[in-house]
Structure 1
Amino acid sequence: MTLTIPTIDCSVQDPVKALAELRRKLSPQGDIVSEAGRQRTIALFGEPLAPRQVVQRICADVRERGLAAVLEYTAKLDHQRLTLDTMRVSAAELKAAHESCDHEFLSTIRRIRENIVEFQSQILHGDVQLIRLQGSGRVELRQRYLPLKRIGICVPGGAAAYPSTVLMTAVPAQTAGVKEIVVVVPPTEFGGYNKSLLATCAEIGITEIYRIGGAQAVAAMAYGVEGLPRVDKIVGPGNLFVALAKQHVYGEVDIDSIAGPSEVVLLADDSAMPRYVAADLISQAEHSPGSAILITWHAPLIDAVRTELTQQLSQLPRGDLARTSLNEYGAIVLVRDANQAAQLADLLAPEHLHISTRVPEDLLKTIQNAGAIFMGHQTPVAVGDYFAGPSHVLPTGGTARFANGLCANDFLKRSSVISYNHAALQDAADDIRRLAAVEGLTAHSSSVDVRLDNP
């Protein structure tokens, strides 16, 4: 397959229009499905439903029939006939996976966990207290943070194993103080039967793991089924059906985001190394689908990067998959200058933004929208995906305009705590009465007056 990643020259093309089409292809709108997926849907439901309709059917069925529906969809979609006992990974299986795991791998897991805990602990919210002397009275105001009691994590397991997802979701939750953490993972060789993934769970103390995936796993965690009590929040990545299922159950539980395929926007000047740039684009494209966009104002870089892409893709095991993603969801954009590059990057609001320039801090000052930002030539996205400490669960599809990456604070529930004494209430009474009168809520005034009339 030939590399045909398109080049967009902003002097003759509208980059906003061209890149909007890429966004549309990768967005979780639920109206695009492959022919193979269409045939599976017909076989399962007897009609060619859109993915969103499939998710609605599955979630409604799980809500009504519980575990029986979960096991039925697991048999039909994942071709695994499980029972209540085999659905959950046993303590013996976890122990065996941990004991047989490579010691160097476990050492790596421990080092990454330490990095995550160190960073997440530094940003973790703590209780706030304000004492206000109001007239002759005293007011005490507090913001109290408590961890959620029970959370669920979706871990992919279709085409590859993802111990990193366990780390980047569970460890922030543990840092926040969450006691009950549920992991759901498809019943595949890369998922619920993968020893490295199970050993990672065991190493960090996750013991509640279920071999279920897709929309049925999301519904099971949201509604609760026999053997799997409901959770308070669902986090973690997944395919289109997982994303749509999370959207569907939001309100029954909280969710982190409605995540789409991985993406990177790379800003590069004349100091960027073509082989580095190519490697960084491929590293996200190999997720397949994955979007990788280079924006540069140094025209000679474009041909050099194309040459490197062709060479590197031919040498990588997932090169064909990455090449397909680059052709379908990638772009190389030639802009006028660094300012136009920053404006375009801000408009795209990517999951990963890599500033590969001589002085990256200069561009950083002009950019607001990105899930995670990687600075300079020696900071590939892989260090964020695997090692640095911030979570790699990030907003995609332009949602970084308003959404944030997952962190320990997302597993906290906050409450305000307010305490007035009699003198403070008396001092505030006229303002409360005045606002209550404007809104016509006289009982609000009365609740104050009854206390002041009868101290």
Structure 2
Amino acid sequence: MKIYDYKDLSSQKIEELCARAVEDDNIVSERVKEIISTVKTSGDKALFEFAERFDKVRLPSLFIDGKTLKELASKIEEPVKNAIDIAYQNIYKFHKAQLKAEEKIETMPGVTCWREARAIEKVGLYIPGGTAVLPSTFLMLGIPAKIAGCKEIIVCSPPQSDGKVNTYIAYVAQLLGIEKIYLIGGAQAVAAMAYGTDSVTKVDKIFGPGNRYVTEAKKQLQPSTAIDMPAGPSEVLVFADDTAIPSFVAADLLAQAEHGTDSQSILVSTSREIIAETIKEVGKQVGELPRKEIATQAIANSYIIYAENSQQAMDFSNIYAPEHLILATENFESLIPLIINAGSVFLGNLTPESAGDYASGTNHTLPTSSFAKAFSGVSVDTFLKKITFQHLTNKGLENIGHTVEILATAEGLQAHKNAVTIRLKNN
């Protein structure tokens, strides 16, 4: 990992370091465009062909039904089942608390306004299944969708070599009451949910993280279908001062790096000693990982920033806008007000990002690539839309009518004025 001194970095260099662009982005964009076009034109036929081409599986059906899911779920190991149950309970508890009715507000006597939430009726969940099968993502998307009350939940996940899904995915489906999982991965899954095919229902909004092809497909299809956020390759920024524990910091950096070769693990530290010790720990720990080749490549594409103080460190973090921000310090309370841009924050030396990935209760579907500057992570609200209501009584019409008439006249919209005037005359 290359080390930079923050004080020596120009604004242009900082912008360059914070960019997530990859050399072959244009190639990915063109390939995704072709996949989307093929799915739109050929529907199910294209999906079968892509499964054979990309997943190396000849599927007899594009989906697994409830009976097969139940059979697969029954094979889950008891310790994993118990762990998923605990994660489910914590995630459900945290997200259930987000569902709150808003008060009615009387903006002036006789004029009452309020908002009510309505679930998005048809939602599509993409559950990655490439180099790692992620039942945790299924929990993170399925639970808030259920709490929100979405009427139809379409789930797509890449098939395994046996043409089925992992037993853990099947068990989560049972917990969520999902009766069907489509064996579709990549950009083609996003296209299928966006346009609909003979087998796949067209949805109103698409959710879920994925590789660069999935992310690019979501971006290209956004004009016709809403998406949760542009969630791409995973990333973490760890701030560490002299109260950090190097072995913990190294473990956090590697936890993110093992996601994929395009993941980023950034260390920003106010201690040169912590930096040196962390580098040693990374070298020691990475050799013990089953996914060490992936992690090693990701670490090679990451870097370290030495900052003279915590303000500099947090300034850089806010520019980078990390998906995950870990404050590896005993003094995290004083830093919280300085955080402007981050997907999810992990406080103190005993709070690994892994806790949020699996079971603390917060959602791990988060904005990457600096989109934390404008997007929030997935929540129950992501599956809802808010409708405003207003009601005027006779008194309310009298109180607000003249104001509306003046403003409508000022804008030259006579019919708007008349809609009020005709009521005032009959009031």
TM-score (norm 2): 0.95
Distance 1:203 1:171 in 2: 9
Letter in 2 for 1:21: E
Report whether the alignment pairs 1:32 with 2:24: yes
Contact residue 158 and residue 190 of structure 1 kept, 8 A: no
Q: 8 Å contact 1:278–1:305 — kept in the other structure?
A: yes
Of the three residues 46, 66, 71, the one matched with 2:43 is 66
| C-alpha distance after superposition, 1:336-377 (max 9, x if no partner) | 111111111111110111001121111112121111110000
1:297 maps to which of 258, 270, 283: 270
Q: Provide structure 2 residue ranges, at least 5 long, that are not aligned to the other structure.
A: none
Q: Give the structure 1 partner of residue 377 of structure 2.
A: 405
Aligned to 1:147: 119
Q: Secondary structure at the match of 2:308?
A: coil
Q: Which residue is 2:236 aligned to?
A: 264
Q: Quick one: which amino acid aligns to residue 323 of structure 2?
A: E
Partner of residue 325, structure 1? 298
SS in 2 for 1:342: helix
User: How do residues 100-115 of structure 1 correspond to structure 2 at under 5 angstroms?
Assistant: 100-115=75-90
Q: Please list, as runs of the form range in 1=range in 2, the aligned pairs for 1:28-427 lying within 5 A after superposition.
A: 32=24, 50-83=27-60, 86-131=61-106, 134=109, 138-189=110-161, 192-288=164-260, 289-328=262-301, 330-427=302-399
SS in 2 for 1:51: helix
The offset of 1:10, in angstroms, is 2.7
User: 1:151·1:182 contact (CA, 8 Å) conserved in 2?
Assistant: yes
Query: What letter corresponds to residue 243 of structure 1 in structure 2?
Result: T
- Are 2:27 and 1:21 equivalent residues in the alignment? no
The one-letter amino acid paired with 2:270 is W
Give the 3-state SS of the residue equivalent to 1:128 in structure 2: coil
Question: 1:325 and 1:223 mapped to 2: Cα distance?
Answer: 34
Q: Secondary structure at the match of 2:236?
A: strand
1:9 paired residue number: 5
Question: Residue 139 of structure 1 aligns to which amino acid in structure 2?
Answer: V
Report deviation, 1:192: 4.3
Deviations for 1:260-319, whole angstroms, at most 9, x for unmatched residues? 211111111111111111111111011122111111111111211111111111111112
- How far apart are 1:395 and its partner, in Å? 0.8
Describe the SS at the equivalent of 1:123. coil
Contact 1:161–1:190 (8 Å) recurs in 2:
no
Q: Are the equivalent residues in 1 in contact too, given 2:62–2:199 (CA < 8 A)?
A: no
Q: CA deviation at 1:68?
A: 2.2
| Aligned-partner SS, 1:231 | coil
Distance 1:217 1:22 in 2: 32
In the TM superposition, residue 258 of structure 1 has moved relative to its aligned partner by 1.0
Contact 2:154–2:181 under 8 Å retained in 1: yes
Distance 1:161 1:222, change over 3 A: same
After superposition, the CA RMSD in angstroms is 1.9
Q: Distance in 2 between matches of 1:373 and 1:345?
A: 12
SS at the partner of 2:366? coil
Query: Which of 395, 411, 415 lines up with 1:439 in the alignment?
Result: 411
CA displacement, residues 163-209 of structure 1 (integer Å, 9 cap, x when unaligned): 11101111111122223211101122499432222222223322221
Structure 1 residues 380 and 189, CA gap change in structure 2 (3 angstroms)? farther
Change (3 A) 1:343 1:373: same
Q: 1:425 to 1:191 in 2, by over 3 A?
A: farther
**Closer/same/farther in 2, CA of residues 189 and 202 from structure 1, 3 Å limit:** farther
Could you tell me how far apart the structure 2 residues matched to 1:22 and 1:133 are? 51
Deviation at 1:216, TM superposition (A): 1.3
Read off the aligned partner of 1:305 and give its amino acid letter. T
Q: Is the 8 A contact 2:59 2:163 kept in 1?
A: no
Q: 1:16 to 1:396 in 2, by over 3 A?
A: farther
- Structure 1 spans left out of the alignment, 5+ residues: 34-48
Shift of 1:404: 0.6
How much has 1:22 moved relative to structure 2? 4.4
**What is the rounded CA distance, in whole Å, between the counterparts of 2:330 and 2:167 in structure 1?**
43
Instruction: Mark the CA change 1:14 to 1:186 in structure 2 (over 3 Å): closer, same or farther.
Output: same
Taking the aligned partners of 2:87 and 2:380, their CA distance within structure 1 comes to 16
